Structures are given as C-alpha cells and as structure tokens.
Structure 1
C-alpha cells in the first residue's frame, strides 16, 4: 500500500483559506467583544457587579482566543512563505519547528473556528508521519511549540486583578462611576506561601505583572 505524498498545492491553497478564515473570525469576535463591553457598562450602572465580573471573564477569554488566532495566522503565513523548505526534506527545518508544531498542536483546539486547518495538518502528517502529529498533540514536543500560544489557550480562570482592571477600563470608557475592589486589585496570583516567604525559590515576578491588561486588551470602548 503506497503512502500518500505531501501535496504542496493543496497545502498552500488551504493555508491561504485558513488565513482568510481566521481574519474573519478575529474580526467577528472583536466586534462581539465591543458589544459585550457596552453590556458590562450597563451592569455597572445598575450596580450589578457580580454579573459584570462574570461577563468580563468571558471577554478576557475571548481576547486571549483572538490573540491565539492571530498567532496561528502568523505561523500559517510563515510556513506558506517557506513551503519550499518543507518540500526539500522529510525532517523539519530548525527554523520551522515552532510554527509547524504549533499549527499541529492548536488545530484541534480551534477546530470550531477554522475547520480547514485540519486539511493543512493532514498534509503535514503525510510529510512527517502520524507519530509526530501525536507527539505534538500530547505535549511531548512542548519546547518546540509556542509558549505564548499555549498560554493564550489555557483553561485557567483570569486573575481577579485582571478582571478588575478590565472593569476599570470599561467604566472609564463609558463614563460610569465605579469603585473597584481593592482586595481584588492586589490579587496577583502569587501563592500565599510564596508571598509570605515560606517557599525559598524566587519566582519569575514578571509573569505576575498585572499593571497592564493582556496585549491587545482591553481596547478602547
């Protein structure tokens, strides 16, 4: 039984389709997020703070999702420009390890947003084998997968300080009187045992910096 060969034309065509699809999804999600911000401002006017915070958590996740889609789009652009390197060898060029492995890893996680990405990964499977695809998806090649992409798609609840900063920005944009929860603003996500000095290892404090929201958000109302 003959092994299917990598089809560069099919690969390039579907990369372009995916890029166009992702741009549309990003635009749609951004527009929906802007409408949701107006809804949150209305909750703040009515002093429905708990409902506002719940809605903000959803917006934060959507902001992260948009950023993840933008990263995926960038990687597709890159492999499309370097498809010649993919054709030349059955091993992945060192300069393409992160984009190719990241595309494979993210595909099942954004399949609802970009169905066509499966065809791109199927072509990569023909080139590099099913085992490589499985290793990427099972986290065995994490060091060659974009950490930023993984961070944007993690399932952790947003930090309280980040939620509160979103509320502050939304209230400012819609001219709503809002007094943030000061305790929530101080919630930097650092475990108490670390903060109190019980754990000697010094963490990377920059990862807890919440002076500004995630890149790209929250945008002006």
Structure 2
C-alpha cells in the first residue's frame, strides 16, 4: 500500500461567507507523482478532531497560504500583515506538533515552513521589505508560479543537500514573510543571496523540513523538484512500515 499523505487546506470566503475548503491541485499532483496517496485535511470548527488525522496519515504536507497571526509569536501585527485565519493557524500548529511528536514525516511549504517555525517557538519577519535592510525581491508581481526567480544556496550538511546533491539551485518565490528567530531544535539549511532563510529542518534524525519556495508549482516544468516530494514519500513509507 502507498503511504497516505495529509495535506492542509484553507478556507475561501465570498461576502463573508465560507464557501470553499481546499488547496491548489499542484500539491495533490506532486504527491501522486511521487507515489503517495493525498488526503486533504479540512479546517474544522471542532479543531481537536483534526488531530485524529495523525492516526491515519503516514506523512504531512503543510501547504502555503496567508500570514500567521503575529500574536502567536508574541508580536503585534504590522499593517503589511494580511490574510490571517486564527482557526487555520491554531489547527495547523497543533497538527504539526502532534505529527512531530509521533515521528510522522513533515514537509512545510512557504507558509508551511513558517507554521513549523512558530509551532516550536520561532519568530517571523512580518514583512521582509520593511524589516530586512537590503532585502532583494521575494514576491514578484505578475509572474507565473512556475517561473524561477532567484538563487538559493544549500548547506552541505543537510537533508536538503542529500536530496538535490547541489549547493546552488534556482527557485520561484512568492512570500513577503520569512523566518527571523529559528525554533529550538531546528537549523537553517538554505539561504537566498540577501541572507533570508529559505529552508529549515530538524536537527534530529526524523524528517521535518520546511521550504520557503513553492516546489509543487515547479515539478512539471522543472522535474528535479519532485525530489522533495519523493523524499517525503520515502520517509513516509519507513514510518508506515514501523507503525501500521
């Protein structure tokens, strides 16, 4: 049996009414291509029920989306912070902690990286342009998601380097926030030219990796990015064999 990969979702609202709970199909497509079975994890009002997904999934993919509430890392919001959903923040942080505690492999993408960092005590730059002097462009306007935008330098002693076997790659980029203080137990494993952290991973043996770019949007045009999802699947198979 293929490993089951839970993918977090978002709420879409129209005229203040909740009409959709879903995720970009690129995440689903990438998991299928890598050999996994994707299962969407909805945002539910009785959010503790969401933790039951850790009983059935073999891997967790924290998807992208809006900003995390700054109060969750003990800051007041800047005016540039937007798209906050307390329900999603609280559920995903709890889900991330539960999955990590059980040893379930985790891959965080863009917001997902930031969720991982905040979940374990880290902080964020609420707005790179405002808070990081000399920062380069990280959120290009009118640019397709499958377009490479800037370079990322990968640290050799990392799982990320093990996957790519490269010290420098080019990625897309659609974020205005980034990791500031790294959570205890994690380390930065990739940086952009201006010093922004582009990837983190746990210092322990288990697979818990966060990426600031969007590989799910690149796998069709740039197949090497499928390695990231294949890495998640490989670790999820190991987990499945151990506990199922």
TM-score category (smaller protein): under 0.3
Greater strand proportion: 2
Higher relative contact order (CA 8 A, sep 6+): 1
Higher helix share: 1
Structure-1-length-normalised TM-score: 0.25
TM-score, scaled to structure 2: 0.24
